[in-house]
A = this chain, B = another copy of it.
Amino acid sequence: MEVVGDVEDLKLEFSVKALVKGMAKTAFNARRLGEALNILEKITIQCNLRVLTLAGAVVPAGLRGILCDVLARDLFDVVVTTGANVTHDLLMAFGGKHYRLKLIDVNEERLKMKGFCRIYDVAVRVQDFEVMEKGLRRILEQMEDRVYSTKEFLREVGLRLEDESSFVHTAALKNCSIIVPAFYDSILGVQVWSMTQTRKLMVLEALDLSYLVDLQFEAKKRGGKTGVLIVGGGAPKNFALQSALIANKPFDYAVQITIDPPYYGGLSGATLGEAVSWDKVFEKAEYCTVYCDFTIALPLLFSALLC
């Protein structure tokens, strides 16, 4: 622990970038956010392998467009995410929507009767899942029977989507890989599973592990740097970090956005310092955790980075 400089009084700013940059010399999570921006700049500019992990309802929360922009601008090589985010992206690609709920007099039964289900203050129509199912079925009919990694499977799907606002579609076009390490743990997985019970089409996450580890090995061989932006915890966080462990190529840069404290011992709250002890993050890495709702932190960071 050492004194590294003065706290510098923050100024009101018109631009997101100037404001977040200024935060780096303040305190608490504003400082962390400012430092995260500085590290993210290095990840996107200096790294040979750039991984984004996404847990949490990023798409239902209205960040699908920002995600597309980020992938269209080539910021990341790999996105590791939940089946849920892919599910909700497909739901929208096939015409579905997300609705804003007012959280007064919450009555789940009434909501269900009206055909909605709820993600905190967002509602989805059950029938939109049915429309999505039909769309997905049409795509699956075009795909050959074989064993796919989730990455290969989602590329095949992404290329067939006709929605420029879909991040799965954008990723497919930009050759960014999407990995879903708990594939069958989502409505997407369930639909694929039920549509392929009489077929030999199979999705196996072990293949994604090979793929991601290979990317880390390559980066290592070339003496390159690797960086990761971790949003939330869950399987996406662990999957990205364990690949670094296996390849013996700990990340050189890491930013984590979470709201979970470390002292409950869970993965989402585990510090990047802990990850150093596991050789998942390099001991000389630049890393930083921001304790903030991702719906606030991500738009700030990406606006500062890209606008």
Q: Give the interface of A toward B (CB within 8 A).
A: 1-17, 19, 23, 25-33, 55-57, 60-66, 69, 84, 97-112, 116-123, 165, 181-187, 189-190, 193, 202-206, 208-210, 232-235, 238-239, 242, 246, 259-268, 270, 273-274, 276-279, 283, 291-293, 295-297, 299-300, 302-303, 306-307
Given contacts A112-B277, A181-B182, A185-B235, whether A1 and B102 have CB atoms under 8 Å apart is: yes
Q: Which residues of B contact A55 (CB under 8 A)?
A: 266-267
CA of A151 to CA of B278, assembled, Å: 28
Q: Is the CB–CB distance between B182 and A185 below 8 Å?
A: yes
Total copies of this chain within the assembly: 4
Task: Indicate which residue in B30, B99, B108, B277 contacts A6 across the interface (CB closer than 8 Å).
Answer: B99
Whole-angstrom CA separation of A109 from B1 in the bound complex: 11
| Bound-complex Cα distance A101 to B273 (A) | 14
Main secondary structure of the interface of A (DSSP, over half): mixed
Would you call B274 and A264 a contact (CB within 8 A)?
no
Which of chain B's residues have a CB closer than 8 A to the CB of A26? 61-63, 295
Are the CB atoms of B206 and A120 closer together than 8 Å? no
On whether A117 and B13 interact (CB within 8 A), knowing A190-B246, A234-B235, the answer reads no
- Chain B residue contacts of A64, Cβ below 8 A: 9
Residue of chain B at shortest CB distance from A266: B56
* Closest residue of B by beta carbon distance from A203: B206
Given A19-B16, A55-B266, A263-B120, A101–B2 Cβ distance below 8 Å?
A: yes
What B residues does A193 contact at CB under 8 A? 206, 209-210
A117 touches B185 (CB 8 A): no
* In the complex with contacts A12-B307, A293-B30, A296-B23, A102-B2 CB distance below 8 A: yes
Is there an interface contact between A62 and B7, defined as CB atoms closer than 8 Å? yes
Question: Which 10 A-B residue pairings sit nearest by Cβ, starting from the closest?
Answer: A26-B62, A30-B295, A9-B65, A182-B182, A29-B293, A108-B276, A27-B61, A7-B98, A14-B307, A28-B265
Asked if residues A182 and B19 are in contact (CB atoms below 8 Å), the reply is no
Which residue of chain B lies nearest to A243 when distances are taken between CB atoms in the complex? B190
Kindly list chain B residues whose C-beta atoms are within 8 Å of the C-beta of A291: 261, 263-264, 293
Alpha-carbon gap, A111 to B232, bound state (A): 26
Indicate if the CB atoms of A293 and B28 lie closer than 8 Å.
yes
A31 / chain B contacts, CB cutoff of 8 Å:
100, 121, 295
**Which of A33, A109, A182, A242 has the largest count of B CB atoms less than 10 A from its CB?**
A182
Question: 25 pairs across A/B with beta carbons < 8 Å?
Answer: A4-B100, A8-B62, A9-B65, A12-B302, A12-B303, A14-B16, A23-B299, A25-B62, A25-B100, A27-B119, A27-B120, A28-B263, A30-B61, A55-B266, A56-B267, A117-B274, A118-B278, A120-B270, A121-B265, A185-B238, A193-B210, A260-B260, A263-B291, A264-B291, A292-B293
